[in-house]
Amino acid sequence: MRLLLILLGWTLTALAGDYGFRVERADLVRRGDVLALSAAIHYRFSPTLVRALRHGVPLTLTVEVRILRPRRGLWDERLWQRRLNFRIQYYPLARVYRVIDETNHSQRSFPRLDAALAALGQLQEIALPVPEGWRPPARAYAEVSVGLNIERLPWALRPLAYFSPAWRLISESYRWPLTG
């Protein structure tokens, strides 16, 4: 209960500032029966997220990759989608930040938060399976977005996170046309 009150206080004092997520570039390349995703993502955590992380709250960031086709009507047709989860956690006794790629079951440790976020933002040729022989149709485009996965927070923090801009960090979608 005390932790919840502390986090509530942090959230109420957090002002909308210079924080958020931005996908700076992304690309999908066909490699046999997979699409290889490379992307550069800029992560800037709010002070509330930094404090929660330093108090042992693990944060999961979800990268969504989609291939869509324009169509008449309200929404474009979603042809393919994958979600990649990356968890960042601070270990105070060891004084390290651990970045865990839950998709590929790998992890790395960093002594500073800025180093962990920089590494987290560099996605290099991550293999995403597609059905054998599948090719995107003409006029298809891809988009990538990233956000803090509130559903992966400890249950006591979720209601607070849903209503606080300091916790609701989601990037705009980065879009580009697919060729070949």
Domain parsing of the chain, residue ranges: 2-7+17-177
Please give the Cα distance from 67 to 76 (Å, whole number): 10
What is the per-residue pLDDT for 15? 44
Distance of CA 70 to the CA centre of its chain: 25
Please give the Cα distance from 146 to 83 (Å, whole number): 9
pLDDT band at 82 (very low <50, low <70, confident <90, very high): very high
Higher per-residue pLDDT: 55 or 137: 55
Q: Tokens representing 30?
A: 């066909």
pLDDT band at 180 (very low <50, low <70, confident <90, very high): low
Question: Is residue 72 pLDDT above 80, yes or no?
Answer: yes
Residue showing tokens 């923090």:
157
